[in-house]
Amino acid sequence: MSPTNLLQFDRAGLVDWFAAHGEKPFRARQVFRWMHQRGVADFADMSDLAKPLRAWLRDAARLESLPVLAEQRSRDGTVKWLFDVGAGDAVETVFIPEAQRNTLCVSSQAGCAMACRFCSTGAQGFSRNLTTAEILAQLWQAEFNMRTSLGLAAGERAISNVVMMGMGEPLQNYSALVPALRSMLDDDGYGLSRRRVTVSTSGVVPMIDRLAADCPVALAVSLHAPNDALRDDLVPLNRKYPLAELLDACERYLVHAPRDFITFEYCMLDGVNDAPEHARQLVHLLRDRIPCKFNLIPFNPFPQSGLARSPAGRMAAFAQILLDAGFVTTVRKTRGDDIDAACGQLAGDVQDRIRRKPGRAGTSSVVPPQTIIPIRVETASPTTHLSNLD
């Protein structure tokens, strides 16, 4: 039997695994702390474990990191890793530094099946769900890589916020997602508060309800349109779960949420969803119904989309309508776009399942990296607070 990768367990799962092998629960807590608080991967270095236990773990278990295919560092301090998850699949993870926090954007799937028009990740197609170990390994490796890179003292945390906004739809990989979230929140793990862990969804309504019951963290919803006709075109999932059902789920989630609002993400597309009338429709749709904030996202172009970024002035006017209606409204700062690490760009090094030839479904290779073309960051109106992932 091959060794078990212990990164696949939250602490309760690790307790069960140790118990199945006749070990006491406190042993699981010890190992969990070594793994996630100290980043130790070699059981021989876990000095408070008995030597016979360390010897047994060496044969029965492993702590397996993800091979790094590429690491890119942006001029603004953003770091993007391309991780190999096997069988020709790769995922991307992004570290975003700011003055008051450092955020890690984590992937949940290799590719994405949502096919949102404005997202280059979705244009690559879907390969498979990641395991809990593969989700958590992104945080595990980034945390201890950046502790060293930033010269942090022992015990200082490099990553203060985690957002499940990388490749994939997290709620379509629910069984692997929740144990990973619990490890992020565990005081014996990364000790992040529920307010500092965000799951972003395109609107998988039944799983929003399950997350509220099982592991309520901050919720961000990819809205992108104020009516069903437009959202059907931009976010195909809307045809299954239209706005009325999605907003009902958001209301139910707020009963359990660690924040008293839902964040609605809205990608600004030139001439598509950025007219003043669209902003007024959003006001009518949400005012007096759901406590929320809007995060307006400058679109990051990619060739096959046929879409363009809204001009800065139009974004500012759109934001002002929402602000005047009393909504907290931010314009996301475009970070890491010179390394294709900005919102909607996580796809360049992932195999393109769409372009597979018939009869070769079992073979593939990682697509070569995209050419890095810096995109000019447009300045937002002074009336609009700039934010990255608030």
DSSP track, 335-359:
-SGGGT-STT-TTTTS--GGGPPTT
Q: What is the pLDDT of residues 154-199, one digit of tens each?
A: 889 999 999 999 999 999 999 999 999 999 999 999 999 999 999 9
Exposure on the CB side of residue 275, measured as CA atoms within 13 A: 7
Residues facing residue 200 across a β-bridge: 220
C-alpha distances (whole Å) from 63 to each of 67, 185, 276 are 13, 20, 52
Q: What is the mean pLDDT of residues 21-36?
A: 97
Least confident of 112-116, 147-151, 375-379: 375-379
Q: Residues 92-102: what's their mean pLDDT?
A: 94
Mean pLDDT of 89-116: 96
Of 121, 142, 14, 157, nearest to 68 by C-alpha is 142
Chain-centroid distance, C-alpha 148? 23
Q: Is the pLDDT of residue 127 over 60?
A: yes
Q: At what angle do helices 205-214 and 174-185 cross, to 10 degrees?
A: 30
| Confidence at residue 257, expressed as pLDDT on a 0 to 100 scale | 96
b/e 73-82 (16+ beta carbons within 10 angstroms → b): ebebebbbbb
pLDDT at 87 over 90: yes
Per-residue confidence band for 353, with pLDDT thresholds at 50, 70 and 90:
very low
Split at pLDDT 50, 70, 90, the class of 340 is: low
- What end-to-end distance do the CA atoms of the chain give, in Å? 45
* pLDDT value at residue 155: 83
Report the distance separating Cα 137 and Cα 217, nearest Å: 20
Strand ranges in the chain using DSSP code E only, listed in sequence order: 4-5, 61-62, 68-73, 79-86, 89-97, 102-105, 109-111, 126-129, 161-164, 197-201, 218-222, 262-268, 292-298, 328-332, 385-387
Cα atoms found within 13 Å of the Cα of residue 336, Cβ hemisphere only: 26
Decide if pLDDT at 373 tops 70: no
Which two structure tokens, joined as six digits, stand for 268?
A: 């600004």
Alpha-carbon dihedral 179, 144, 137, 42, rounded to 10 degrees: -100
The verdict on whether 245 is a catalytic residue reads no
> What dihedral angle (degrees, nearest 10) is formed by the CA atoms of 281, 282, 283, 289?
120
Exactly one of 71, 105, 343, 378 is catalytic; which is it? 343
Task: Verify whether residue 92 is a known catalytic residue.
Answer: yes
SS3 annotation, 75-88: CCCCEEEEEEEECC
For residue 122, the model assigns a pLDDT of 86
Residue type, 135: I
pLDDT digits (tens, 9 = 90+) for 188-245: 999 999 999 999 999 999 999 999 999 999 999 999 999 999 999 999 999 999 999 9
Q: Predicted confidence band at 363 (pLDDT cuts at 50, 70, 90)?
A: very low
| Band of residue 338 on the pLDDT scale cut at 50, 70, 90 | low
Amino acid 335: pLDDT? 58
**CB-CB contact of 147 with 104 (8 Å):** no
Of these residues, 92, 134, 143, 265, which one is catalytic? 92
What domains lie within the chain, and their CATH numbers?
A: 4-62 (1.10.150.530), 68-387 (3.20.20.70)
In this prediction, residues 42-64 reach a mean pLDDT of 97
Question: For residue 384, what pLDDT is reported?
Answer: 29
* Average pLDDT of the chain, as a whole number: 88
- pLDDT tier at 365, thresholds 50, 70, 90: very low
Residue that the structure tokens 């018939």 belong to: 358
Question: Judging by DSSP bridges, how do beta strands 109-111 and 126-129 pair with one another?
Answer: antiparallel
Q: Decide if pLDDT at 277 tops 80.
A: yes
Q: DSSP 3-state helix, strand, coil percentages of the chain (rounded to 5)?
A: 35, 20, 45
342: pLDDT strictly greater than 90? no
Q: How far apart are CA 239 and CA 233, in angstroms?
A: 9
